[in-house]
Structure 1
């Protein structure tokens, strides 16, 4: 594994440390509350619907191949878990997007060594709303057709065997896209330039997305993953010279 892949976990760990610091805790409260509500709903819905979802995705096998169901069942359990967790993560980040953009802005000030950032301002936050929601809509436009293609693939017998690993890989990539976009958007980087920036740092991007995705599955820790990932992505952005690279254009 390239050494660059180790950067992702390091940045998420640093992001977690930053959001727990006194100067930034204010910007973590709302995202954590959003996560509490949505993950509570996830648990409730999952308990009621989980078996039905797994049965819906499981292919129908002839009787003489029935023994394969025991081998395939874990794969389709993974498929449902990946789809559900990823969908709820996207929803929670959409609701908390304005706070996440503001948090990224303040984290960058701290990481660059300027810890005298201005106090929280509701006026400044409200001014960010139109741009932030427009950017989230752009993420959804990027995500939706690809997720739909994977969903269709999930229902095609035979081909649906590769759906779970493809969902997982897509989820890891989208975690990187979701969180790196906050500092990129704060610097007015275009959507296509942001994607190109990530592709140029593919191993760093995927390692950050993977550790973020894995952390979402840890009860308790997942409540802090969203703000920690925003801060961690901003740390990665600063380390990779994102703002300076854009300024040189």
Structure 2
């Protein structure tokens, strides 16, 4: 009998528990190191440019409306934070994609008790690079037009006040796509079929994506939680598919 599905936070919590287990730690260290280097570089750059970005996005108000600056400034700070977060997440996942794909394979072996994947080797890892990078480019092609539309919206005075909540909703959906795609791709599920499957599981997907999104917004914690998100997404994939042969994680 299939095990019951979990809530979004439960998937993430179980994912963290899985990546901390002795059998999976090896597959976590490399993507963790890559994310750490990238995160430090991005924070250093963003720290120098942050005020400039906020000032460029803030609309110029007439003097009699200057009091609105105290309301709008936190909104546009939030908008810049979301944009920086999105950039870091997308770039980090593109670079770490082969390692994340391999981690998803090993997590699935642990939670299903079945090993239908090749044994770990550097040759096998290198063989995954073209496929995983191609899939990341497909995610980027899905993301960029929508992100550009939101960015344009962010630059239109008056209308841009709704940009931050739209970025948030889009970000939650993208987090579900980003991480659940790893196990889906390992099973050769096409991009369109993967999206259709997520839409059928829309509320469960958004629950998981929202949990990942909130945790990954926390500096330093986000680096540690990225592998947990991969593991949680793999558990989501297996449980939501209702695999009757699943064993407890």
TM-score (norm 1): 0.92
Tell me the distance in 2 between the aligned counterparts of 1:47 and 1:80: 12
**Counterpart of 2:160?**
160
**Counterpart of 2:199?**
199
**Counterpart of 1:32?**
32
Contact 2:179 2:230 in 1 (8 A): yes
Contact 1:187 1:243 in 2 (8 A): no
Deviates more, 1:134-143 or 1:44-53: 44-53
Tell me the distance in 2 between the aligned counterparts of 1:61 and 1:40: 35
Per-residue deviation, 1:6: 6.2
Asked if 1:57 is matched to 2:95, the reply is no
**Counterpart of 2:42?**
42
Please give the secondary structure, in 2, of the residue aligned with 1:152: helix
**Counterpart of 2:8?**
8
- What's the CA shift string for 1:32-64, capped at 9, x where partnerless? 111211211122122211111100110111111
Deviates more, 1:98-107 or 1:108-117: 108-117
**Counterpart of 1:90?**
90
Distance verdict in 2 for CA 1:116–1:170, change over 3 Å: closer
**Counterpart of 2:112?**
112
Contact 2:179 2:233 in 1 (8 A): yes
Per-residue deviation, 1:220: 3.1
Q: Which runs of 5+ in 1 are unaligned?
A: 245-249
- What's the CA shift string for 1:90-127, capped at 9, x where partnerless? 00000000000011011001100247987521111111
Q: Which runs of 5+ in 2 are unaligned?
A: 245-249
The number of residue pairs the alignment matches comes to 241
Tell me the distance in 1 between the aligned counterparts of 2:217 and 2:168: 13
Distance verdict in 2 for CA 1:99–1:178, change over 3 Å: same
Tell me the distance in 1 between the aligned counterparts of 2:138 and 2:158: 33
Asked if 1:181 is matched to 2:175, the reply is no
Contact 2:105 2:117 in 1 (8 A): no
Tell me the distance in 2 between the aligned counterparts of 1:158 and 1:141: 29
Distance verdict in 2 for CA 1:66–1:36, change over 3 Å: same
Contact 1:14 1:232 in 2 (8 A): yes
Contact 2:5 2:236 in 1 (8 A): no
Tell me the distance in 1 between the aligned counterparts of 2:115 and 2:132: 24
Contact 2:5 2:240 in 1 (8 A): no
Asked if 1:70 is matched to 2:70, the reply is yes
How well do the aligned residues superpose, as a CA RMSD in angstroms?
1.9
Distance verdict in 2 for CA 1:118–1:185, change over 3 Å: closer
Tell me the distance in 1 between the aligned counterparts of 2:205 and 2:5: 8
